[in-house]
A and B are shown apart, each in its own frame.
Chain A
Amino acid sequence: MENMQAVNSFVAAYLKKKGFKEAEQLLEDLQKESAPIDFHNDPDLAKFIHHFSQSEDDVARYQDGYSKLRSWTYSSLDLYKHELLRVLYPVFIHSFMDLVAKGHLQEARTFFNAFHEDHELMHSRDLQKLEGVLSQSHLEEMEFARSLRQNKVNIKICQYSYGLLLQYLHKTQSTAMLGVINEHINFQVTSGQPGSISDDTEVVTLIGSCQDAASLINQKEIHWGLLEDSLEERLEKEGGLLSDSEKAEAENKEGDVDDSKKRSVEGGKQGASTKKLKKDKAVNATAKSARPEAKPTPAAPRVKPELTLPVMSTEVEQSILEDLRNRVQLSSVALPSVSFYTFLNTHNGLNCSSISQDGSLVAGGFSDSSLKVWDMAKLGQQAGSSTLQGENDSTSSEHVAGPNGVKRSYTLFQGHSGPVYSATFSPLGDFILSSSADTTIRLWSTKLNANLVCYKGHNYPVWDVQFSPVGHYFASSSHDRTARIWSMDRIQPLRIMAGHLSDVDCVQWHANCNYIATGSSDRTVRLWDVQSGECVRIFIGHRSMILSLAMSPDGRYMASGDEDGTIMMWDLSSGQCVTPLMGHTSCVWSLAFSCEGTVLASGSADCTVKLWDVKTSTKAPKNEEKSGNPNRLRSLKTLATKSSPVYSLRFSRRNLLFAAGVLSKNV
């Protein structure tokens, strides 16, 4: 206690001498609060402070200290990271201004250049102002700088984060940082859990920035329209069975102009390469958030593919067209039929499931490293098919017959050496990709029942893998905080998307294949340009880890589901949340839009499938956007399963909804 008294009095005296009234006040406050975190009771600190008083002019300490603090913050626990990140910005600007104030102009400039990019996103305007501070006198003259120096920044922080920060500062002896923090930051320590990431805006406004978080990135232009020359479009032109709404779409002017060209392309079957030549066409599908009031387009605009797309065979095209003609129109009054696949006897080992486009194949990834695929068409006629199956698969008998010669009802794919976390079918159902904790992605052929390729690239478990809507390309996301784009024929990734601050938990392709969306444990969703690999949108609003993503078929909206059961609907062009959808009480494992985008289905760990009316939610708030009171998305129907959490959902091209889940006893 004596020691502590001595330190306190020394510090108080020091502060008084230096004229740090606020800090002195803060110290007193801290003592009064008798916070459980008592960093004064530390003999080493006395030494630090002595040390600090001796070498306060040491310029390198700022640069060094800040860079260490920064890297420590970025590697801290997810739960507290966003709180600690808030501290960085004030520390940065005040370190910079301290350096300027002490006359180390050159060093200040180096310091600024080294780290200003971190804050560019949130505080670009402030940084532009500060960049102009070139001498001590500027600090006095510039009103902004003066107000920053005079006022303390209020930061709300939870007790544990606060403790972590102080502990770090002690350990690393970064007294320069401790000084800055004491001098300019007023911590409002709250007990209990850390606040939500969305509270960040509050901080931003407190420190005088009028810009919204992430708004700079969200101003980039994106082309959310659908691919031109899609099969749907062709079907409409052929004058098939048209609904009224689709007729409007068929009147798309650009489409008419291109019509003759497309026909010729179609005949030549050189679509993929010749499409590239049409780049000179003006793209009318740009949507800038700068003018979100752009005239409402009746139908989704068309965009060019940025990737070389695989060519589709005629038979496949025909079958898809057939499906499109037979599609059931869903709406709030015409709900889909749901076929539910229940996994039995999984012994808690099922990690993921996936359903092929036509629902005939169901895959399950297990924690025992295996991938099992059931052919539902054969399952229906079990007795007759068992012998048939044996004959068909004689080439790969080890897949079908167990060690005892017992016939299995499924095809077993073995190859991974860790739990399989995700599986995805190619659009035609002839390939499966699986990702695993062994850091690899494997490509399997359902025709040959064999492993074709093993893609190595990630350094940590691969949480999710998704085929692109056209096949051939796929995206993966991993614990190594990156998402990667691959093509089936290369074992190296084509693009690496880095930027998330924590695990990338899920990934989803945009309908036009030019973008991918990723959801992360850092509670944000990001949209990436596949061609450039750049982040083009950041969606902030979730309060916990993102588990599932879905893109609307018109390419305009995105839904994301999180750990708490919240689903958020985002407008891709503006980057704003259209409406949060409350209803689920537990993790939303899966989301799926119906083929015409009118119904959103969500599957959750609370053993329900919910159907949401998307049309009312996305259209209605448009009108009353200004009022800032978006109405809740309407839940159309809750379908309860019999104690089976819903793992995956998939709408077939004919709008039949497939759902898969595992029967579990302890739910």
Chain B
Amino acid sequence: MSNVPKEAIEVIAQSIGITNLSPDVALALAPDVEYRVREIMQEAIKCMRHSRRTVLTTDDVDSALNLRNVEPICGFASRDALRFKKAAGHKDLFYIDDKDVEFKEVLESPLPKAPLDTSVTSHWLAIEGIQPAIPENASIEAPSDGKKAEYKEDGLSVDVKLPIKHVLSRELQVARNLNNFPLMFALMRVARSLLQNEHLHIEPYLHQLMPSIITCLVAKRLGNKFTENHWELRNFAAKLVASICKRFGHVYHNLQPRVTRTLLHAFLDPTKTFPQHYGAIQGLAALGPSVVRLLILPNLEAYLQLLEPEIKRHEAWCVYGALLRAAGLCMYDRLKMFPSLLAPPTRPVWKSNNKVATNKRKASTDTLMQQQPPAKKIATESAIGGSNIGVSSMSRPLSNDNMLGREVGGRVSKTSTVLAQAWKEDTDPGNLLASLFELFGESMLSFTPKPELSFFL
């Protein structure tokens, strides 16, 4: 009747030095041993339950023995699980592999880290019965649940809802469709439409939407055909991100910081490809001039050095154009704000830069400059009428190929200092302009507001 075989009793007897145990004794002891074990287990389980646990530990067994006024068993408090090994040559005989430990090793081993002290944190598990999607809560596994909830909440008609459900689920699959360029572009447009629709309560799904959009912004490859203009998609996604940040930033305070952190990481990682850098720059630029001043300008010079060896490549040119535009718009913004502070324009040797400038202009025309035709025109005019009146505040003539940052040390440091200070509100836009001009040449001028520019003319 017993689960404890008499062999077990015999083994135990041997282990404590009783060799002449008669089989009858073992047979009689076995059921009693089982009963005692069951009894201890019953108490141990109670102790486990009252410790609010579902896993039985050696401590529980010790507590149970304590309850029965039995000496606790020592030597099993180790954190590692005990391993029972099969004794060789025996079918049902197991033993615990108990290794000898050298005192010296134990003493010499470094002390373990002090455990962290217990603490309590609080968060909202639910607000009026609805679980907010915050990191402290378990993720909602089935988005369809959320859809249903939304369906109940706002009383919009069904035919509007159904397509949304469909599209959003496709939306979540952007990562799988990275090669399907038209689909991705369509999805981004859908996302924009969703965001623009004021009647939709899109906020709960932002966390699902954002990763897809950011993917379209800084993915390594978008589309698989050369003809597909992924630059355009990135521009579009950048604007989308910016619009989301603008609309929901005040509700979710960590939204924009998280976006910018992601983009900045992409921007500053030299191992990333140029299209990725391009997306990051565009994304940051779309968030406004202050973000550009804070995050792009301080890194601008170093980045241009990185870019320079690759400048012949189309991709690098695109990145260069994006940077140019970002910096330029930022400067434009500053100049607008402090027109009176305008410093003399920076016009170093124009002709020596001719080739580069033309190239640059071409690149920027291709990619971004469509939005700026008037300024562009003026810039061109000014370039054509290129007199040397505007002597740069740092009017050292530049040698032909120095344009992209091969300046002499002192010069560089000054430029970077100015750029590094660019985030400050009271930065002199003139200095900024000068520094930027130094890096970008006269194409910077295209961003100078018309009245100010005319001042130089």
- What is the total number of residues of chain A having a CB less than 8 Å from a CB of chain B? 74
Question: Is A90 an interface residue when CB atoms closer than 8 A count as contact?
Answer: no
Could you tell me the distance between the alpha carbons of A637 and B126 in the complex, rounded to whole angstroms? 10
Within 8 A of A (CB), among B1-26: 1-2
Question: Is A616 an interface residue when CB atoms closer than 8 A count as contact?
Answer: no
Could you tell me the distance between the alpha carbons of A390 and B133 in the complex, rounded to whole angstroms? 37
Known: A339-B122, A374-B120, A641-B137. A505 touches B49 (CB 8 A): yes
Within 8 A of A (CB), among B83-137: 115-131, 136-137
Question: Is A645 an interface residue when CB atoms closer than 8 A count as contact?
Answer: yes
Could you tell me the distance between the alpha carbons of A338 and B137 in the complex, rounded to whole angstroms? 12
Known: A379-B120, A563-B49. A167 touches B31 (CB 8 A): yes
Question: Is B59 an interface residue when CB atoms closer than 8 A count as contact?
Answer: yes
Interface string of A621-637 (1 = CB under 8 A from B): 00000000000000011
Known: A77-B42, A167-B31. A344 touches B52 (CB 8 A): no
Are A79 and B138 in touch, CB under 8 angstroms? no
Distance (whole angstroms) from the CB of B248 to the closest CB of chain A: 22
Best-buried of B50, B63, B66 by chain A (most CB within 10 Å): B50
Question: Is A36 an interface residue when CB atoms closer than 8 A count as contact?
Answer: yes
Interface string of A126-164 (1 = CB under 8 A from B): 000000000000000000000000000000000110011
Known: A77-B39, A379-B120. A642 touches B126 (CB 8 A): no
Question: Is A376 an interface residue when CB atoms closer than 8 A count as contact?
Answer: yes
Distance (whole angstroms) from the CB of B368 to the closest CB of chain A: 44
Distance (whole angstroms) from the CB of B5 to the closest CB of chain A: 12
A303 neighbours in B (Cβ, 8 Å): none
Are B119 and A376 in touch, CB under 8 angstroms? no
A347 neighbours in B (Cβ, 8 Å): 115, 118
Are A587 and B31 in touch, CB under 8 angstroms? no
Distance (whole angstroms) from the CB of A413 to the closest CB of chain B: 13
Q: Which residue of A lies closest to B140 (CB)?
A: A640
Question: Is B54 an interface residue when CB atoms closer than 8 A count as contact?
Answer: yes
A609 neighbours in B (Cβ, 8 Å): 125-126
Best-buried of B2, B53, B55, B131 by chain A (most CB within 10 Å): B53
Question: Is A37 an interface residue when CB atoms closer than 8 A count as contact?
Answer: yes
Task: Give which listed residue, B31, B115, B138, contacts A642 with CB less than 8 A.
Answer: B138
Distance (whole angstroms) from the CB of A430 to the closest CB of chain B: 20
Best-buried of B2, B59, B123, B125 by chain A (most CB within 10 Å): B125
Could you tell me the distance between the alpha carbons of A667 and B52 in the complex, rounded to whole angstroms? 13
Are A463 and B121 in touch, CB under 8 angstroms? no
Are A376 and B122 in touch, CB under 8 angstroms? yes
B116 neighbours in A (Cβ, 8 Å): 344-345
Are B46 and A338 in touch, CB under 8 angstroms? no
Known: A342-B123, A479-B46. A605 touches B118 (CB 8 A): no
Task: Give which listed residue, A343, A521, A640, contacts B138 with CB less than 8 A.
Answer: A640
Q: Which residue of B lies closest to A463 (CB)?
A: B50
Could you tell me the distance between the alpha carbons of A136 and B137 in the complex, rounded to whole angstroms? 74
Stretch in contact with the other chain, from A107-115, A316-324, A348-356 = A348-356
Are B128 and A159 in touch, CB under 8 angstroms? no
Which secondary structure characterizes the binding site on chain B? Answer: mixed
Are B137 and A376 in touch, CB under 8 angstroms? no
Question: Is A187 an interface residue when CB atoms closer than 8 A count as contact?
Answer: no
B54 neighbours in A (Cβ, 8 Å): 586-587, 605, 645, 667
Task: Give which listed residue, B50, B118, B125, contacts A659 with CB less than 8 A.
Answer: B125
Question: Is B67 an interface residue when CB atoms closer than 8 A count as contact?
Answer: yes
Task: Give which listed residue, A336, A341, A343, contacts B129 with CB less than 8 A.
Answer: A336
Are A343 and B127 in touch, CB under 8 angstroms? no
Question: Is A372 an interface residue when CB atoms closer than 8 A count as contact?
Answer: yes
Task: Give which listed residue, A339, A351, A611, contacts B50 with CB less than 8 A.
Answer: A351
Distance (whole angstroms) from the CB of B95 to the closest CB of chain A: 26
Could you tell me the distance between the alpha carbons of A159 and B57 in the complex, rounded to whole angstroms? 28
A345 neighbours in B (Cβ, 8 Å): 115-119
Are B67 and A479 in touch, CB under 8 angstroms? yes
Could you tell me the distance between the alpha carbons of A421 and B59 in the complex, rounded to whole angstroms? 14
Distance (whole angstroms) from the CB of B72 to the closest CB of chain A: 13
Are A367 and B59 in touch, CB under 8 angstroms? yes
Could you tell me the distance between the alpha carbons of A437 and B63 in the complex, rounded to whole angstroms? 9
Are B1 and A348 in touch, CB under 8 angstroms? no
Are B51 and A419 in touch, CB under 8 angstroms? yes
A362 neighbours in B (Cβ, 8 Å): 120
Question: Is A78 an interface residue when CB atoms closer than 8 A count as contact?
Answer: yes
Distance (whole angstroms) from the CB of A480 to the closest CB of chain B: 10
Task: Give which listed residue, A159, A409, A437, contacts B119 with CB less than 8 A.
Answer: A409
Could you tell me the distance between the alpha carbons of A340 and B124 in the complex, rounded to whole angstroms? 6
Question: Is B38 an interface residue when CB atoms closer than 8 A count as contact?
Answer: yes
Could you tell me the distance between the alpha carbons of A645 and B52 in the complex, rounded to whole angstroms? 9
Question: Is B35 an interface residue when CB atoms closer than 8 A count as contact?
Answer: yes
Are A344 and B121 in touch, CB under 8 angstroms? yes
Could you tell me the distance between the alpha carbons of A505 and B117 in the complex, rounded to whole angstroms? 30
Could you tell me the distance between the alpha carbons of A666 and B79 in the complex, rounded to whole angstroms? 14
Known: A37-B1, A78-B42, A343-B118. A589 touches B52 (CB 8 A): yes
Distance (whole angstroms) from the CB of B188 to the closest CB of chain A: 32
Interface string of B37-77 (1 = CB under 8 A from A): 01100100010011111110101000100110000000000
Q: Which residue of B lies closest to A359 (CB)?
A: B122
Best-buried of B2, B52, B55 by chain A (most CB within 10 Å): B52
A408 neighbours in B (Cβ, 8 Å): 117
Known: A163-B1, A163-B31, A460-B67. A341 touches B122 (CB 8 A): yes
Are B1 and A36 in touch, CB under 8 angstroms? yes
Q: Which residue of A lies closest to B116 (CB)?
A: A345
Within 8 A of A (CB), among B396-450: none
Distance (whole angstroms) from the CB of A481 to the closest CB of chain B: 12
Known: A335-B129, A348-B53, A611-B129. A79 touches B121 (CB 8 A): no
Question: Is A651 an interface residue when CB atoms closer than 8 A count as contact?
Answer: no
Could you tell me the distance between the alpha carbons of A587 and B45 in the complex, rounded to whole angstroms? 13
Known: A419-B63, A639-B125, A642-B137. A521 touches B118 (CB 8 A): no
Question: Is A337 an interface residue when CB atoms closer than 8 A count as contact?
Answer: yes
Are A642 and B124 in touch, CB under 8 angstroms? no
Could you tell me the distance between the alpha carbons of A639 and B123 in the complex, rounded to whole angstroms? 13
A460 neighbours in B (Cβ, 8 Å): 67
A339 neighbours in B (Cβ, 8 Å): 122-125
Could you tell me the distance between the alpha carbons of A343 and B119 in the complex, rounded to whole angstroms? 6
A471 neighbours in B (Cβ, 8 Å): none
Best-buried of A379, A586, A639 by chain B (most CB within 10 Å): A639
Are A639 and B131 in touch, CB under 8 angstroms? yes
B59 neighbours in A (Cβ, 8 Å): 367
Within 8 A of B (CB), among A376-415: 376, 379, 408-410
B51 neighbours in A (Cβ, 8 Å): 351, 367, 419, 421
Task: Give which listed residue, B63, B119, B123, B130, contacts A340 with CB less than 8 A.
Answer: B123
Q: Which residue of B lies closest to A334 (CB)?
A: B128
A36 neighbours in B (Cβ, 8 Å): 1
Interface string of B130-158 (1 = CB under 8 A from A): 11000011100000000000000000000
Are A505 and B50 in touch, CB under 8 angstroms? yes
B52 neighbours in A (Cβ, 8 Å): 350-352, 587, 589, 605, 645, 647, 662
Distance (whole angstroms) from the CB of B42 to the closest CB of chain A: 6
Could you tell me the distance between the alpha carbons of A652 and B409 in the complex, rounded to whole angstroms? 68
Question: Is A591 an interface residue when CB atoms closer than 8 A count as contact?
Answer: no
Distance (whole angstroms) from the CB of A432 to the closest CB of chain B: 15
Known: A78-B42, A163-B31. A637 touches B129 (CB 8 A): yes
Could you tell me the distance between the alpha carbons of A463 and B118 in the complex, rounded to whole angstroms? 23
Question: Is A364 an interface residue when CB atoms closer than 8 A count as contact?
Answer: yes
Question: Is A547 an interface residue when CB atoms closer than 8 A count as contact?
Answer: yes
Having A340-B136, A641-B137, one finds 12 other A-B pairs with CB under 8 Å, namely A78-B42, A79-B42, A340-B124, A366-B118, A409-B117, A409-B120, A410-B119, A421-B50, A479-B46, A505-B50, A547-B49, A640-B137
The 13 listed contacts between A and B (C-beta, < 8 Å) are: A37-B1, A163-B1, A335-B128, A352-B50, A372-B118, A374-B119, A379-B122, A421-B51, A587-B49, A639-B131, A642-B136, A645-B54, A662-B52
Q: Which residues of B contact A (CB under 8 A)?
A: 1-2, 31, 35, 38-39, 42, 46, 49-55, 57, 59, 63, 66-67, 115-131, 136-138
